[in-house]
Structure 1
């Protein structure tokens, strides 16, 4: 499969790229920089020809449009989009102390970013149930379990859940699968050292969903990395 992964140089995105490469997929690894370095560069060198690092800043639509045009010109299609790039701001901040700039930036990356990616890349995706769009969300985005905190992050994730539901309706005739996905509270730069979850296990579960190794009822669109339904 040809899989586009945003935020591929760190956190969950890096682990998704690693597992996808190990399983023999071709990965378009979206990063904000013009060229890869560090652990992603090492990974690319370890899987020659499988991982293509591309400049893709989800806040800069021109980088996404440029990638889409490049793929189109090369006759490349995309079988899966995993919108993994995300940001967590204002953690534990009381409403009275909330910086609205943090809210705006959270929406810019956690909602508008995936929308920009899908806007330009969806036309490159063939029809069929083997194709999938996964928007990485969070249990924090559950309205029924709202806990009155982490406002920028939680509200932006609720919004990406809504967009995922809308997108699912939009592509229903094309049979493309769409999920908002909770990867678990995992030990990454964002999740922190206290997180109980393993990002490798989460990445494996997500790739199982991409590869249709898990049977997920049609009515479930907000799921966890095991393919289980999340409370909306």
Structure 2
């Protein structure tokens, strides 16, 4: 078993922010477990460039069995994780429908991915993060999940699923406090991704670079969970 000083698992690692986070942590010497649903040209290139350091883990966070199988694969390579970043998320076009036109089935899909997906990961990887040295658990949240700062009158499923993810972050921090695991909910900024669109002012690479530094600066104080943006500025719950 090849030894690396630190290991990280990143869901949604095939593109956008997850891909840029993978690249950043590879450059910092981490062994990266990239949780993806389907490989692509870039992930194949990373496997060739970083053999044994970059490990693709096929996973669908909306499926119990898939997350369980992914956990088994990770444990074949590592007996601990220093950082876990729950980045996989979905924002469906139906999210923008008015209240009277909401498609509840689509809303359930959003919750299954955005909220229950990270919870499945937490259920399965709790023992690995507790054994890590850094012990940082990150849920990529959104300003859309801030109840105190809510100004929208639609996008019910996406906003509600991220608000629920924030509550999950607070509960996990309470659960893992004695194990010295730090839980962060991070708003990554408005990025140029499939979800954010081309008008967004921030590139996934810029967000990933800032998130890396923000995690390093906020990995202490396990007494309460922390909701911040990608630059470390506190965000209202």
Same fold (TM > 0.5) = yes
Alignment of 1:83-232 (within 5 A): 83-89=86-92, 90-127=94-131, 130-146=134-150, 147-210=152-215, 212-213=216-217, 219=224, 221-232=226-237
- Whether the 8 Å CA contact 1:216–1:228 is kept in 2: the answer is no
For the residues of structure 2 that align with 1:73 and 1:145, how far apart are their CA atoms? 43
State the 1:67 CA deviation.
2.5
Other structure's SS at 1:126 match: helix
Asked if 1 retains the 8 angstrom alpha-carbon contact of 2:169 and 2:184, the reply is: yes
Q: Which whole-Å CA distance do the structure 2 matches of 1:209 and 1:122 have between them? A: 22
- CA distance in 1 between partners of 2:86 and 2:198 (Å): 23
Deviation, 1:224, is 0.7
Distance 1:87 1:120 in 2: 21
TM-superposed CA distance for 1:9, in Å, is 0.3
Partner in structure 2 of residue 57 of structure 1: 60
SS in 2 for 1:54: strand
Q: Is the 8 A contact 1:220 1:229 kept in 2?
A: no
The equivalent of 2:73 in structure 1 is 70
* 3-state SS in 2 of match to 1:171: helix
Alignment pair present for 1:42 and 2:45: yes
2:24 aligned with 1:11:
no
Aligned residues: 229
Which blocks of at least 5 consecutive residues in structure 2 are unaligned? 1-5
Is 2:15 the counterpart of 1:2? no
SS at match of 2:189: coil
Change (3 A) 1:184 1:14: same
Q: Which runs of 5+ in 1 are unaligned?
A: none
Corresponding residue number in structure 1 for 2:3:
none
Whether the aligned pair in 1 keeps the contact of 2:183 and 2:225 (CA below 8 Å) is no
- Using the alignment, how far apart are the partners of 1:43 and 1:188 within structure 2? 20
Q: How far apart are residue 148 of structure 1 and its match? A: 1.6
Q: Report if aligned partners of 1:58, 1:117 keep a CA contact under 8 Å in 2.
A: yes
Mapped to 1, the partners of 2:132 and 2:51 lie a distance apart of 29
Are the equivalent residues in 2 in contact too, given 1:127–1:176 (CA < 8 A)?
no
Where 1:157 maps in the other structure, the secondary structure is helix
1:73: Cα distance to partner? 4.8
Alpha carbons of 1:92 and 1:66: their partners in 2 closer, same or farther (altered >3 Å)? closer
Per-residue Cα deviation, 1:21-70 (whole angstroms, up to 9, x for no partner): 1111110001113xx22211112222232210011110111122122233
